[in-house]
Structure 1
Amino acid sequence: MLVLSQNSLTEAIPSVLFTTPSLSTLYLDQNQLTGPLKFQNISSSPLNDLRLSGNKLNESIPRSIANLTKLQRLYLSSINLKGKVELEIFFELKELQDLDLSGNKVLVPKANINSTLPKFSSLSMSSCNLTEFPNFLKAQNELQGLDLSNNNIEVLAMKNNHFQGNLPETFINGCSLRTLDLNNNTIQGKIPRSLVKCPMLEVLNLGNNKLNDTFPFWLESLPELKILVLRANGLHGPVWDPDIQFGLSKLHVVDLSHNNFSGKLPSDYFQNWRAISKVTSNDKSQPGYMGDDSNYYKDSMTVVNKGVELELVKILTIFTAIDLSDNRFYGEIPDSVGNLKGLIVLNLSCNKFMSHIPSSLGNIIVLESLDLSQNSLFGEMPQ
């Protein structure tokens, strides 16, 4: 082990350090060392922990770093490199577990990567000028720590993991996030109100967690929101406020099912849901999908359609759905439901609605799936 961190060392790093027969740990971080780095003519280096962060290497990382075949931990944050760091050059280090590239400009491969990648345990790419969520992370099923802070990522898809604790109030003004998908984790607490600082947000999926909050009426401040999924949490209270005419102009999928929402829905509840109030053009030969303008990511979600839970791996932009099932709503089904002429899926089952079925329901001419079961409805079905 050789530890020379936090000194004032200058000049280039001697390449002999990478070939010393018994040196497994080398800390040279927080100095003023320069490049170039030379890893040629290395056949069996025992080096497994290399820390060079906080220097002035002023060069690029050579592909010959792959000769350090036993590296498990590599720290290269803020080393003042020329150009962009190609992330792929580290994929040859099969034993690599911890990698820190923060404070550099990183070029992330967009193509799908095969299963021969290192199995990262910790990865930090904060302040790396990233604009997209790294696609290769989908195969990283042993990742325990991930830092992508201070980037310009538009899509954050981290569903089906084991994230827990509260969501932080760290969204900043001008946030360019368009998709936040944290479905199926164990996240607790409240929905962070700082999301209103993300005016471009189109998809918010926080379903299947352990959130404990009231309905986030402040989402009205998000003009681009199209898909809202809050299903299967511990959310409670009314979804109607007499002082707020909730109904985002572009919202066309709402899933609030399997919560503890309660109360009556006024007759004009669906009055302002403009995106679902019009029938999409009959020309569906070239339908678009949510996230089409991204060259690597398509939004996805789970819906209950005709009693069957389906995974939509891509979401048609013409798809519309409202699911308020398995809550504690009571009273009458709002007459304004008939305004939703473009609605395809409507599920109000497993509530305490006690009324006739509103005749206005017959105005929904494109409805394909309707579930009103397990309520206390009476009277005739509308034409």
Structure 2
Amino acid sequence: MSSFEGFPNNFSTCQVTDSWSWVGKLTKLYTLGLENTRIKGEFLSFVANLTRLSALSLMGNNFQGEIPGSLFQLKNLEYLDLSSSNLSGFVEFDQFSKLKKLKVLRLSDNKLSLQSKPNLGATFPQLEVLELISCNLTKFPEFLKNQYELSFLDLRNNSIHGRIPKWVWNATRETLFTLHLAHNFLTGFDQNPIILPWQNLDFVDLQSNMLHGSLPIPPQSIRNYVVRDNNYSGDISRSFCNLNNLQALDLSNNSLSGMLPKCLGNSSSLEILDLHHNSFHGSIPQICPGKNSLKMVDLSYNQLQGKVPRSMANCTHLEFLSLGNNQLSDIFPSWLGALPALQYLSLRSNGFHGMIGKPATNHEFPKLCIIDLSNNGFSGKLPSNYLDNWNSMKFVDDENHQIYFRVSPTSKRSNTYADSYDVPYSITTTAKGVELKYDATPYQLRLIDFSSNRFEGEIPAGIIGNLRALHSLNLSNNALTGQIPSSLGNLTALESLDLSQNQLSGRIPGNLAQLNFLAYFNVSHNHLWGPIPLGQQFGTFLEDSYQGNSGLCGKPLSKKCDSSISPPPSIFEEDEDSGFQIALDWYVVLPGVVSGLIVGVVAGNFWTSKNHEWFLEKFSRKRQPRGTRGRRGHRN
């Protein structure tokens, strides 16, 4: 037998001694892979017997204690992966000098403390891959000075301070393809190079450090350039437009400023453009003027002005578009509805205005799952025709087992050790009464936020009740009138419903109490009256959810409901087709009709028995319209 791989799905957690010692007798093994087999206990001591091993992978287990010295007697090892195996203790890098053939070393995500001697470099094996994620490093290991074949270097999630020394790139200038230095305390590069010195660099990830100064320009070979969450300043050089292989450009959460280069959106290879949370100003350049591959555009939280460029109608691969929190002034960009892959659209907190008309076709925004138009100046009625088209909010996709929304660039790896940048949707929205930030957005989330606009008229009952996959609906701070539709009770996945600060009237539909997942409910500052529904989630909502509605009664309010409670006087002043008068129930109308009829009959008989039939006929015709209105209202 030359190789053996464990079967993670077939093994339960097991002790080393009772399940795996027999492997030590397979002395002719060249490859041993026991990844994620949930082995616990001391390290596999029998591995020392497998002297012919060239590849050993024990990642994803639950060992106890240190890496045994016997491991370093495996002179033929070329591949060693001990990552995520709960190993602890101090490890001297010079021990790996005994493994002269070693090419791949992965020790990430353990409890190890790694130490490097100053004179180690000359004797350390020439690695191609080095992964030391979360290994408590405080500086760059000095043996890197003599690593002339390194293609993949990953030192993420350590505590490396200061500047990136020149000797790190001197040794790997021609060989390095992938560089991960994210989540450290790096402040810059030695000698502040204008262009990064690696000639064949494919992927660089420097996010979440303390890097500052001007933004360094990557080499022509770059595919993924990620420097988010730093403090880079200044503008974006036009040289970025000449990076013909660039697929992902993430400069978000820096202090960059100036105007965006007009050529920035011209690239046919660019798939991810993320510039949110900077200080860019001026207009949005013409994005997707020709052939393009863009899947994500995030320009939110800047100071951009003007209109949404019509060229974006050509972004047929676009899944994520966030233009929120800028100074844009435009009407609703309805032409975006033709984008067949768009799942997320945010125009929040800008100067968008005007009415949202009818869609050009019945297939606008076919895959839209999340839309945020809040804090703008949109007016007119709610866009019911658009709502009716959003099939992704009507049905839950049970066949897709994806956990989070994410954008995955097309794989175009130029090297075995090149990496790819997989980006989850990061969104900020208002739900459950607070502003929420999702660093990774759940794939099942369906959300509509039209709050803080000037929408008026009634909530489209029949259409809104069809959005059964909806999790959050925010229509607050508008001028909506009419009743709360009972069809909202169909939204069985609803977790947050905010209808506050409108002019809604009538009762709170009792069937809303059947929404088992409703965690937030706010109808404050409307003109609602009558008893608050009881049971289920409604027992958890506080008084704040109902304040500003003088006609409401029942828990959690201190005002108790009177069985003879009448609707507000203004109900009789409404037009007979208004829907507010419809709120009268038969238990109020019927006694009045009956008592009036009795008094009328008695009075008629008292006047003259001759006119008895005539009086009843006239009375019946006069009363019928109101009775009909009462029945129509009762059905609603």
* TM-score, with structure 2 as normaliser: 0.43
Spell out the pairing of 1:343-362 with structure 2 (5 A cutoff): 343-362=470-489
**Structure 1 Cα separation of the partners of residues 188 and 450 of structure 2:** 49
Instruction: Name the structure 1 match of 2:190.
Output: 94
1:199-278 matches, within 5 Å, as 199-241=316-358, 243-245=360-362, 247-265=364-382, 267-278=384-395
Give SS of 1:163's match.
Answer: strand
Q: Which has the larger share of helix?
A: 2
Deviation at 1:316, TM superposition (A): 1.2
Residues 207-260 of structure 1 show CA distances to partners (whole Å, capped at 9, x for unaligned) of 110000110001022111000011000000112236454741110100000000
Q: What SS does structure 2 have at the residue aligned with 1:194? A: helix
1:1-383 aligned within 5 A: 66=166, 93-96=189-192, 99-100=194-195, 106-110=201-205, 115=210, 119-125=212-218, 128-132=220-224, 134-135=225-226, 137-147=227-237, 148-149=240-241, 150=244, 151-153=246-248, 154-241=271-358, 243-245=360-362, 247-265=364-382, 267-281=384-398, 287-291=402-406, 293=408, 295-335=421-461, 336-382=463-509, 383=511
* Inter-CA distance 172–214: structure 2 relative to 1 (3 Å threshold): same
Task: Judge conservation of contact 2:179–2:203 (CA < 8 Å) in 1.
Answer: yes
Q: Secondary structure at the match of 2:368?
A: coil
Paired letter, 2:290: N
- State how far apart, in whole Å, the 2-side matches of 1:152 and 1:172 are: 17
1:138 match: secondary structure: coil
The alignment-based identity, stated in percent, is: 38
Corresponding pairs, count: 302
Aligned residue type for 2:435: E
Supply the distance in 1 between the matched residues of 2:324 and 2:188 (Cα, whole angstroms): 37
Superposition deviation, residue 290 in structure 1: 1.6
Structure 1 residues 313-356: Cα deviation after superposition (integer angstroms, max 9, x where no partner): 10111111000000000011112111101000000000011111
1:267-324 superposed Cα distances (whole Å, 9 cap, x missing partner): 544111010011343x99x652122646443220112111111110101111110000
Whether the aligned pair in 2 keeps the contact of 1:206 and 1:231 (CA below 8 Å) is yes
Deviation of 1:139 after TM superposition, in Å, equals 4.2
Kept after mapping to 2: 8 A contact 1:249/1:274: yes
Q: 1:295 to 1:243 in 2, by over 3 A?
A: closer
CA distance in 1, matches of 2:488, 2:301: 33
Supply the AA of the counterpart residue of 2:214: S
Report the alpha carbon displacement of residue 129 of structure 1 after superposing the two structures with TM. 4.8
The alpha carbon displacement at 1:376 in A equals 0.7
In 2, Cα distance between equivalents of 1:349 and 1:170: 33
Distance 1:292 1:364, change over 3 A: same
Shift of 1:155: 1.4
**Is the radius of gyration larger for structure 1 or structure 2?**
2
Deviates more, 1:231-240 or 1:105-114: 105-114
1:362 CA drift (Å): 1.6
Name structure 2 gaps, 5 residues minimum: 1-164, 182-186, 249-270, 409-419, 512-636
Q: Secondary structure at 1:315's aligned position in 2?
A: coil
Relative contact order, higher structure (CA 8 A, sep 6+): 1
Which structure 1 residue ranges, 5 or more long, are not aligned?
1-64, 70-80
Could you tell me whether the CA contact under 8 Å between 1:230 and 1:255 is conserved in 2?
yes
Q: 1:265 to 1:124 in 2, by over 3 A?
A: same
Q: Please list the CA deviations of residues 69-126 of structure 1 after superposition, one character each: whole Å capped at 9, or x if unmatched.
A: 9xxxxxxxxxxx988887799x984241x61469x754233476754x5x34143348
Range moving further from structure 2, 243-252 or 258-267: 243-252
Structure 2 counterpart of 1:52: none
Q: Distance in 2 between matches of 1:313 and 1:129?
A: 29
TM-score w.r.t. structure 1 length?
0.69
